[in-house]
Every structure is written in structure tokens, then in C-alpha cells.
Chain A
Amino acid sequence: MEEKYFLKNKDNPESKNIDFYVKNGGYKAWESVLEGKSPDEVIGEVKKSGLRGRGGAGFPAGMKWSFVPKDSDRPKYLICNADESEPGTFKDRYIIEREPHMMLEGIAIASFAINCHQAYIYIRGEFVYGAKVLDEAIAEAEARGCLGKNIMGTGYDLDIAVHRGAGAYICGEETGQIESLEGKRGWPRLKPPFPAVVGVFNSPTVVNNVETLANLPLIFNRGADYFAGIGPNAKNTGPKLYCVSGHVKRPGLYEFPLGKNLNELIYEDCGGIRDGHELKAVIPGGSSVPVLRPEEIDVSMDYDSLAAIGSMLGSAGAIVMDDTTCLVDSLLNLEQFYAHESCGQCTPCREGTMWMVKILSRIEKGQGRMEDMDLLDDVAKNINFRTICPLGDAAAMPAMSFIDKFRDEFEEHIKQGGCPIQKDKSIKVPNADA
């Protein structure tokens, strides 16, 4: 698929305006759904398209919607997860700021599928500009009769409200997000019950990522079969945004079908590693997924291929590290992030992340002991799968994989009593002219 979907208007600042969007076929998918389909047909189409969640877990979207009980007399809610906070990920921000109507049209279609009349966009607090763009886009869409009361004369009502977060990574986790939306600390809930049954305001709730929802206009404009034909196989379908950051010549946002080869992405599209340096490691799917060694990157960036080599597609945020990177320092940086963002509910995560930071700090400072390697691994393994939400796993997976794949470098720190890497902490801005 050479044709771009998300990035087709990359060079056109008009893309966020409704006139431009409608002129290019916008809201036609929503119209066709409203006028000619039942909610079950919409769910069926999305199941047929093979669309899987783009937030990280890769759960089939149509299936998630089908868990909403039809016989419940409670109102149904849809939350669009725009809390994009996974280190290495910056794809939703582009959609929010540049293609807000693609996202709103997707929210409308998903709301219809679950019979929801009140949807929320939970956007991270730092995206002040993005929240403003969305507020304006909603007002434009309401003025045109695409959202609001009695949409397109069909009697269907849908209100979409922008709800701003306040700087907590944990609110990207769907039950933490629900708690936060209710005006509480973002403390994830025990499951079951799953949000589809008991979510926000004690009502059935679906939480979908921005990019997941933004795919829906494509499915209903071009058909589920067309969508299912994009990508490497029936379980990995549709267009995908890939974020590349770190030591490549051209970091940034790229779009390809699911299943882009990671090696090609780095060496062809991103121009390879910056001059004079070699690749050392890549975290392929946002900071929480297991790291890859250079010899492992000839892999298809899809849910199943990355899982098959022990990592994950996650949010498709590839963080590329060259030979000036100290991996003890990098892991320490990540574990400081998780220690700071741990919500504090579960002991393994709250205490474990703090201990990982302490152990890594002393190894980096040259005060580590050989037995710290097994201790670190043990702490990580005692967090993994032992917490209410996946933040614990997200903190444990980098640690376990860094130790597994780069143990020599950690041991070298301990043996030498200090960091053996010629680190390059200088400011590097390959896009300075952009």
C-alpha cells in the first residue's frame, strides 16, 4: 500500500479544518453507518476488518465492543484514550492536532456500535494545544450537524467532551483512566468486572486508543475487505503509524501497513544510524517492551511477529540506541520513569521499581556487586504479573530483557568499578532545520 491514510495531509496545515475534511470525503463513513447499518452490522464489519487495538495490547476492536451487554439498561460510554504517554510514542498527537475529524468520525462510529450517546476524549494534560484543536473540531462538527443532537436528521444524539488528564502515566491504563475520569486518583481497578460490563459511572464502557478509532472511517469508506487486505496476514491488518526516536538520521513519524520490516524502517526510511556509529539496541514498541539486539531487527513490525521473538509491537514506538549509549544508564532512566509513575497501590510495583532504581544507580556509579545482577532479575520477576495493572509488567520487561541480552555490559560496569562506555551526552538534533 503506497497510498497513505493517516499522513496523507502531512504537508497541509488545513487538514484539521472541517471544510477540508468534508471536501475530501470526510464524515461520509459516519453518514453511511447512521443511515444504513445496525450496531451489530458495524461490529461485524470491524471484526471482519481484523482491526486490533493500537494502544499497545492489540486486542481485536470489534470483539471488545461485542462484550458490552445489550440487555443492560445503563447508559453506555465510550472513552477515546488520548493519554499518549508511553516513552517513545508520539503518533496520537499527530492525529489529534492534524486529523482531529478523522478521530471524531471514528469516535462517532464506535459510539453507534455500542449505543453510546456520551463519549469522552481523555487527553493528557500536557497536550494543551491538542485539547484546543479538539474542542474547536467538536464545535465545527456540531455546527455542521455531524455531532450533537439529532445527527443528520436521524434522531441519533452524540455528545463528545474533551477531558484533560493531569500528568499521570497510569491514566493511560484503561481502568486507571476510568477512575481518573470519575474525579479520583488514577488507581487501576481489579478485573473482572471488565470495563465493557462495569466501567465509568458504573456503566458499560469501551476504552479505545486514538489511532484505533481513527482507522474506522477507512474501514467504512473502503470496506472491511479492503482494510483486511492491508498488512502481512489476516491477524495483522490495516495501516499503522510508526514512531522512531533516538540515534537515527531521520527520526520521526512514519506510516506503512502493519508489518513494516524494522531493519528497513531504520536503515532505509530513517536513513540508518547517525554517521560514525553503529547500532547497539532497539526497543521496538515503546519503553515497556523487551529490547532487541541488532541481529534481531530483521523482523516484521506486527503483533504476532514481534511476540514470536519475545518482544511486542506495543505502541510501535521504536527507540534506537547507538554504540555511545550506556545500557545501564538507559535502563536506569526507564526505571526512574516507572518508579515515578507507579501509582503506589501494589507493593511489588511500588517497592520493586524503587529498588531497581537503587540497584541500577549503584551499578552505574561503579558500586555494584556481581550478585546485584541476579538480585535485579529477581526483583523484576517478582513484579511481573503480580500487580493489578500492566505498569508492573511494563517496568519488569525492560529490566529482564536488558539483563538477558546485555548482561556483559552490566557485569563490565561491576568489574571495572565504573561505566566503561564513552557516553555522548551532547545535544543532537538531526531535524534542526525542520
Chain B
Amino acid sequence: MAIEFSEEAQKEYEEICKHYPDKDATLLPALHLAKREFKTATPEVMEYIASLVGVDPIKVLNVASFYTWYPKEKEGKYVIQVCSTLSCSLMGAETVVDYIEKKLDIKAGETTADGKFTLKKVECLGSCGTAPVMQINDDYFESLTEGKVDQILDDLK
């Protein structure tokens, strides 16, 4: 097998297994670790996860393809997810997306040529009281303005 978890992730996975009576239930946690370790759920990664969890590779594909959180294609270093559902939309989410599209010279769904940013429009992030909102990788950024977007993106190396 060409790829495998780092020792740290391997240990974490063993810890996770202790909480479940059925190993199949560790599939989502294993895919979360895989996202951290390998970024993209490539066929090779999914085969590795299948062997780890003890299920058929087709099951991993079946499950991974159902959820939006596991990228199937290579994404930028920073994945910008702008919430576009109603509460954010009322507060100007479309303008935020337009602004980032112009700033990065890409359309939503695309990655910059240097591989630094991917821009996505996503469904409700559950932060409607501080709309408009975006998530970059693991972090939330709330009450966005154009100035704030500039500052946040310019600070990312």
C-alpha cells in the first residue's frame, strides 16, 4: 500500500475505535482523519480507508460521495466557503461572493492558478445571526464586510 496514516493519526484512529461496538461506524471519523492527512479522497485514499475500517472500497465511495465535507477533487490550500442560504443572502452574501470572485479572479467552484484559494458557495453554516458568514478551512469568519474580507484573505500566506 502506497499510502497510510501518520503514526499520530493511526493512534487517534485506534482511540476512536474504542467508542464504537461496530467498526463500520468508524468510517466517517476515518474519512475525517483522511481529509486531514491526505486532503483529497482519491480512489487510492478510499481503498486505504476501506482496508483500515474493514469494508469494501465501494462502500467508502458510496458514503464519501454522499457528504460534501470530503473533497473528491484537489482543492486549494485555503477553501473559502461562503454561506449563501437565506439569512446570509438577505445580508448580502451574493455581494460577498461577487467581491471575492473579482478579488481572486475566479468563479465560485474554481481554484486560483497558484493553488492557494478555492471558492465555494455553500448551504447554511448555522451562523445566521452574524451574517454574512464564510468558513475558511476549519475557521468561521462572521459579520463580513468588503474590508474584512480583504484583511482576512490578505493575511493568509
A residues contacting B by CB (< 8 A) are 75, 84-90, 92-93, 118, 120, 124-129, 159, 161, 163-169, 180-186, 201, 243-247, 251-253, 283, 287, 317, 319, 321, 325, 330, 333-334, 337, 340-341, 343, 425-429, 431-432, 434
**For residue B55, which residues in chain A have a CB less than 8 angstroms away from its CB?**
183
Answer whether A428 and B92 are a contact pair too, CB < 8 Å, given A124-B126, A185-B66, A243-B128: yes
**For residue A431, which residues in chain B have a CB less than 8 angstroms away from its CB?**
129-130, 143
Complex contact A333–B89 (CB within 8 A): yes
Provide the bound-state CA to CA distance between A427 and B96, in Å: 7
**For residue B53, which residues in chain A have a CB less than 8 angstroms away from its CB?**
183
Provide the bound-state CA to CA distance between A333 and B89, in Å: 8
Q: How far is the CB of A395 from chain B (nearest CB, A)?
A: 13
Answer whether A427 and B146 are a contact pair too, CB < 8 Å, given A87-B87, A251-B129: yes
Asked if B43 is at the interface (CB within 8 A of a chain A CB), the reply is no
**For residue A85, which residues in chain B have a CB less than 8 angstroms away from its CB?**
123-124, 126
Additional pairs, 13, CB under 8 Å, beyond known A183-B26, A427-B132: A87-B124, A88-B87, A90-B129, A125-B32, A125-B67, A126-B69, A168-B68, A183-B27, A186-B66, A201-B22, A245-B90, A321-B90, A334-B85
CB 8 Å contact bits of B49-64 with A (1 = contact, 0 = none)? 0000101000000110
Asked if B38 is at the interface (CB within 8 A of a chain A CB), the reply is no
Complex contact B129–A253 (CB within 8 A): yes
Provide the bound-state CA to CA distance between A426 and B146, in Å: 10
**For residue A167, which residues in chain B have a CB less than 8 angstroms away from its CB?**
67-69
Provide the bound-state CA to CA distance between A84 and B26, in Å: 21
Closest to B22 in A: A201
**21 interchain pairs (CB within 8 A)?**
A87-B86, A90-B126, A120-B19, A129-B140, A161-B20, A164-B28, A166-B68, A168-B66, A181-B28, A246-B86, A252-B129, A287-B124, A325-B90, A330-B86, A333-B84, A334-B85, A337-B85, A337-B86, A427-B95, A427-B145, A429-B132
- Which B6-39 residues sit within 8 Å CB-CB of chain A? 16, 19-22, 24-29, 31-32
Q: How far is the CB of A185 from chain B (nearest CB, A)?
A: 4
**For residue A427, which residues in chain B have a CB less than 8 angstroms away from its CB?**
91-92, 95-96, 132, 144-146
Asked if B73 is at the interface (CB within 8 A of a chain A CB), the reply is no
Provide the bound-state CA to CA distance between A93 and B130, in Å: 13
Asked if B40 is at the interface (CB within 8 A of a chain A CB), the reply is no
Complex contact B90–A89 (CB within 8 A): no
Answer whether A319 and B86 are a contact pair too, CB < 8 Å, given A246-B91, A426-B95: yes
**For residue B89, which residues in chain A have a CB less than 8 angstroms away from its CB?**
330, 333
B residues contacting A by CB (< 8 A) are 16, 19-22, 24-29, 31-32, 53, 55, 62-63, 66-70, 84-87, 89-92, 94-96, 123-132, 135, 138-140, 143-146
Most chain B CB atoms below 10 A, which of A89, A90, A186, A253:
A90
Complex contact B124–A181 (CB within 8 A): no
Q: How far is the CB of A211 from chain B (nearest CB, A)?
A: 13
Provide the bound-state CA to CA distance between A432 and B66, in Å: 36
- Contact partner of B123 (CB less than 8 A), chosen from A181, A317, A341, is A341
**For residue B96, which residues in chain A have a CB less than 8 angstroms away from its CB?**
427
Answer whether A245 and B129 are a contact pair too, CB < 8 Å, given A334-B86, A425-B92, A425-B94: yes
Answer whether A166 and B69 are a contact pair too, CB < 8 Å, given A85-B126, A87-B87, A159-B19: yes
- Contact partner of A245 (CB less than 8 A), chosen from B131, B138, B139, is B131
Q: How far is the CB of B146 from chain A (nearest CB, A)?
A: 7
- Contact partner of B87 (CB less than 8 A), chosen from A128, A164, A181, A246, is A246
Most chain A CB atoms below 10 A, which of B24, B128, B143:
B128
Provide the bound-state CA to CA distance between A252 and B130, in Å: 7
Complex contact B25–A90 (CB within 8 A): no
**For residue A159, which residues in chain B have a CB less than 8 angstroms away from its CB?**
19
Provide the bound-state CA to CA distance between A253 and B27, in Å: 35
**For residue B19, which residues in chain A have a CB less than 8 angstroms away from its CB?**
118, 120, 159, 161
Closest to B132 in A: A427
Closest to B142 in A: A431
Query: Which 3 A-B pairs rank lowest in CB-CB distance, beginning with the nearest?
Result: A183-B27, A427-B92, A166-B67
Complex contact A93–B86 (CB within 8 A): no
Complex contact B32–A432 (CB within 8 A): no
Closest to A86 in B: B124
Complex contact B90–A166 (CB within 8 A): no
Closest to B147 in A: A432
- Contact partner of A163 (CB less than 8 A), chosen from B28, B62, B140, is B28
Complex contact A181–B25 (CB within 8 A): yes
Closest to B65 in A: A185
Complex contact B70–A166 (CB within 8 A): yes
Provide the bound-state CA to CA distance between A124 and B28, in Å: 12
- Contact partner of A182 (CB less than 8 A), chosen from B25, B68, B70, B145, is B25
Q: How far is the CB of A186 from chain B (nearest CB, A)?
A: 7
Complex contact A182–B90 (CB within 8 A): no
Closest to A89 in B: B126
Complex contact B86–A183 (CB within 8 A): no
Answer whether A184 and B63 are a contact pair too, CB < 8 Å, given A159-B19, A427-B132: yes
**For residue B144, which residues in chain A have a CB less than 8 angstroms away from its CB?**
427, 429
Complex contact A125–B123 (CB within 8 A): no
**For residue A118, which residues in chain B have a CB less than 8 angstroms away from its CB?**
19, 21
